[in-house]
A = this chain, B = another copy of it.
Amino acid sequence: MTMATITVPEPVPSAAEDAERLFKACQGWGTDEKEIIAVLAHRDATQRKQIRLAYEEHHHENLIKRLEKELSGDFERAVYRWIFDPIEREAILANIAVSKKFDYQVIIEIACVNSPKELLAVKEAYHARYKHSLEEDVALHTVGELRQLLISLVSTYRYGGDEIDVNVAKLEAKTLQDAINLQEFNHGEVIRILSTRSKAQLCATFTCYKDEYGISITKALATDSPNEFAHALRTAVRCIVAPHKYFVKVLQRAVSKVPDEDALTRVVVMRAEKDLKVIKEMFYQRTNVTLEHAVGKETSGDYKSFLLALIGN
A residues adjacent to B (C-beta < 8 A):
120, 123-124, 127, 131-133, 135-136, 139, 144, 147-148, 151-152, 155-161, 163, 188, 192, 195-198, 201
Question: Would B157 and A157 count as touching, CB distance under 8 A?
Answer: yes
Please give, as numbers and ranges, the residues of chain B lying within 8 Å of A131 by CB-CB distance.
Answer: 159, 161, 163
Please give, as numbers and ranges, the residues of chain B lying within 8 Å of A148 by CB-CB distance.
Answer: 148, 188
A87 nearest CB across to chain B (Å): 14
Please give, as numbers and ranges, the residues of chain B lying within 8 Å of A197 by CB-CB distance.
Answer: 136
Give 26 A-B contacts (CB < 8 Å), ordered by A residue.
A120-B157, A123-B157, A124-B157, A127-B160, A132-B163, A132-B198, A133-B157, A133-B158, A133-B159, A133-B196, A133-B198, A135-B157, A135-B158, A135-B195, A136-B159, A136-B196, A136-B197, A139-B192, A139-B196, A144-B188, A147-B192, A151-B192, A152-B152, A152-B155, A155-B155, A155-B195
A111 nearest CB across to chain B (Å): 11
Q: Is the interface of A mostly helix, strand, loop or mixed?
A: helix
In the assembly, what is the distance between CA of A146 and CA of B98, in Å? 28
In the assembly, what is the distance between CA of A160 and CA of B160, in Å? 24
Which listed residue (B132, B135, B156, B188) contacts A135, Cβ 8 A? B156
A271 nearest CB across to chain B (Å): 25
Please give, as numbers and ranges, the residues of chain B lying within 8 Å of A158 by CB-CB distance.
Answer: 133, 135
Task: State the oligomeric state as a number of copies.
Answer: 2
In the assembly, what is the distance between CA of A123 and CA of B159, in Å? 9
Question: Would A127 and B161 count as touching, CB distance under 8 A?
Answer: yes
Question: Would A156 and B159 count as touching, CB distance under 8 A?
Answer: no
Please give, as numbers and ranges, the residues of chain B lying within 8 Å of A135 by CB-CB distance.
Answer: 156-158, 195-196
A180 nearest CB across to chain B (Å): 19
Please give, as numbers and ranges, the residues of chain B lying within 8 Å of A188 by CB-CB distance.
Answer: 144, 147-148
A176 nearest CB across to chain B (Å): 14
A98 nearest CB across to chain B (Å): 12
Question: Would B159 and A132 count as touching, CB distance under 8 A?
Answer: yes
Please give, as numbers and ranges, the residues of chain B lying within 8 Å of A124 by CB-CB distance.
Answer: 157
A123 nearest CB across to chain B (Å): 5
In the assembly, what is the distance between CA of A152 and CA of B188, in Å? 13
Q: In chain B, what residue has the closest Cβ to A163?
A: B131
Please give, as numbers and ranges, the residues of chain B lying within 8 Å of A198 by CB-CB distance.
Answer: 132-133
In the assembly, what is the distance between CA of A119 and CA of B201, in Å? 23
Please give, as numbers and ranges, the residues of chain B lying within 8 Å of A163 by CB-CB distance.
Answer: 131-132
> Which of A124, A131, A139, A155 has its CB near the most chain B CB atoms (within 10 A)?
A155
> Which of A147, A151, A195, A196 has its CB near the most chain B CB atoms (within 10 A)?
A196
A144 nearest CB across to chain B (Å): 7
Please give, as numbers and ranges, the residues of chain B lying within 8 Å of A120 by CB-CB distance.
Answer: 120, 157
In the assembly, what is the distance between CA of A147 and CA of B192, in Å? 9
Q: In chain B, what residue has the closest Cβ to A201?
A: B132
Please give, as numbers and ranges, the residues of chain B lying within 8 Å of A196 by CB-CB distance.
Answer: 133, 135-136, 139, 151
